[in-house]
Amino acid sequence: MTPSRHHRRPATAGALAAVLAATLVLSLAACGNTPPTAPPATQTPAPTAPPTASPTPSATASPLVSIVPVPTSIAATPEPTSSAHLDPATAAKLQQVLDGLTAASKTPGSVAAVVFPDGSIWTGQSGSAILSSRTATTADTLFAVGSISKTFVAALAGRLAQRGTIGLDDKLSRYVPAFPNAANISLRQLLNHTSGIQDLFVAKGMAAAILSNPSRIWTADEVLARIGKPSFLPGQNYGYSNTDYVLLGLALERATGETLASQIRSEFLGPLGLDHTFLQTQEHAAGPFAHGYMDVKGNTATPRDVSAGQSMLPFNSEASVAGPAGAYVSTASDLARWASALYGGGVLDDATLASMVDTSPTLAYKVKPKYPYGLGFEKTLVAGRTAWGHRGHLDGFWSAMEYLPDAHVTVVVLANAQWANDPLAWSGQLVSVLLGPTLLGPTLPGPSLPGPSPTH
């Protein structure tokens, strides 16, 4: 399957006006490894962070509600303050759908956000961030976002490659020479999971080590020391591996002499005004936290809180083992603005973004990704429409961040339950409210997910 054509956000106010004048009418989410299952944790208050440790939308859409133009652009005006001007009935329908999904799945809490082509945003919250204290979710509630973290790391690699600081085809040995076979593994192969390196979550004894001391904070060196023999030779197959991004994070730090978190903040989060997004292993995460919940033998009535007493989400050992591969926390609105900027053309140049969304290399192998995979990038379907982004999972949390290139609309759904394992279906129901029934035929695998994985 060839990658979708790259779409850019309109670069000028005139272009935006043309889009809106053309009756822009819109109505206004894994890999199959078995995750660690955290043991019961003592119920204590919410975690506190650790010390430093656009073109016109596709004609196939069926828009239902007008959006009053809001003169903002995520690239030019990063402050995430503008709200989408929806008619009350559509806004109420979006909230009703989110409430219904949360209640029907018995998920403690969820949050969602939608960003529109003009940069305006709708947000919704439902249920509880923390059950024991009956703390409701809010627009500022931080959720663990799992492998959505990879999109920040991949974007940084792209930005540094644009400048010539690194080359995507540089060998890992240039930056992490001590890692086995580093001279034959490229940064590009880390980015698209064709390195053959064993996934850290399936390394021998790792799951037991994570669970035996949930409060332990691991270093990257401790994690890498446990990685076993490769699954295949570099560049010879596809195999999703969180270890790839731990190594990539080290490489980018050694290439620049700066921490990964500081680079991502200065390059992206600061300029875009994404003030509620943090790499927990390197930054103080400021804000209210959601807790993650695990069902006990299928019982969702009295779920287990895996985050109580921890300083990182979902709990210290799992977050610190994941590191750059999955340790970010964020809000739905921050992630929606991030995807809108990244995939809308406001972050990387055309050539670099085209490389990121090119899924053809990984589709050429005997083992193919469940969803076509680029460089820290998934191509999938949301409500039958092509979507660009990534899903995320850590114990007790699921997430989906999806950008619809034909409509230039981004939808994000975050949930704090292990059993809420179909975020694309949630996103699809919100998109159906916004854009109506799709006229596109199915061209990708459906949104059903395999068994839970520690991070996707």
* Residue-level pLDDT at 194: 98
> Using omega within 30 degrees of 0 as the cis cutoff, is the peptide bond preceding 35 cis?
no
Read off the pLDDT of each residue in 270-287 and give the average, rounded to a whole number: 97
- Report percent pLDDT > 70 for the chain: 77
Q: Look at strands 109-115 and 278-279 and give their pairing.
A: unpaired
Burial class, 456, CB count within 10 angstroms (exposed 0-12 / middle 13-18 / buried 19+): buried
Residue 338 has pLDDT above 60, yes or no: yes
* Residue-level pLDDT at 84: 64
Residue 82 has pLDDT above 80, yes or no: no
Please give, one letter per residue, the 3-state secondary structure of 227-269.
Answer: CCCCCCCCCCCCCCCHHHHHHHHHHHHHHHCCCHHHHHHHHHH
Residue 11 has pLDDT above 70, yes or no: no
Among the ranges given (16-30, 281-295, 302-316), the one the predictor scored with the smallest mean pLDDT: 16-30
Q: Backbone dihedral region of 433: left (phi > 0), alpha (psi from -120 to 50 degrees) or beta?
A: alpha
* Residue-level pLDDT at 27: 27
Please write the tens of the pLDDT for every residue from 42-63. Answer: 433 344 443 333 332 332 222 2
Q: Which residues contact 344 (CB under 8 A, 6 or more apart)?
A: 7, 8, 9, 54, 74, 403, 408
Q: What does the block give as tokens for 440?
A: 């596109």
* Residue-level pLDDT at 306: 97
Backbone angles phi and psi of 173, in degrees to 5: -60, -20
Residue 379 has pLDDT above 70, yes or no: yes
- Report percent pLDDT > 90 for the chain: 72
Nearest to 243 by CA among 215, 272, 203, 278: 203
* Residue-level pLDDT at 147: 98
* Residue-level pLDDT at 88: 84
* Residue-level pLDDT at 105: 95
| Rounded alpha-carbon distances, angstroms, from residue 308 to 41, 130, 279, 319 | 6, 9, 19, 14
Residue 193 has pLDDT above 70, yes or no: yes
Average pLDDT, the chain: 82
Instruction: Give the integer Cα–Cα distance in Å for 196 and 397.
Output: 27
Contact 238, 373 (CB under 8 A): yes
Model's pTM, two decimal places? 0.82
Please write the tens of the pLDDT for every residue from 224-250. Answer: 999 999 999 999 999 999 999 999 999
Nearest to 206 by CA among 323, 328, 321: 321
Bridge partners (DSSP) listed for residue 113: 123, 412
Strand runs (DSSP E) across 277-375, as ranges?
Answer: 278-279, 293-296, 299-305, 328-330
Question: What domains are there in the chain, each with its CATH number?
Answer: 16-435 (3.40.710.10)
Please write the tens of the pLDDT for every residue from 301-320. Answer: 899 999 999 999 999 999 99
Please write the tens of the pLDDT for every residue from 35-47. Answer: 465 444 443 334 4
Q: What does the block give as tokens for 278?
A: 């943090």
Residue 251 has pLDDT above 60, yes or no: yes
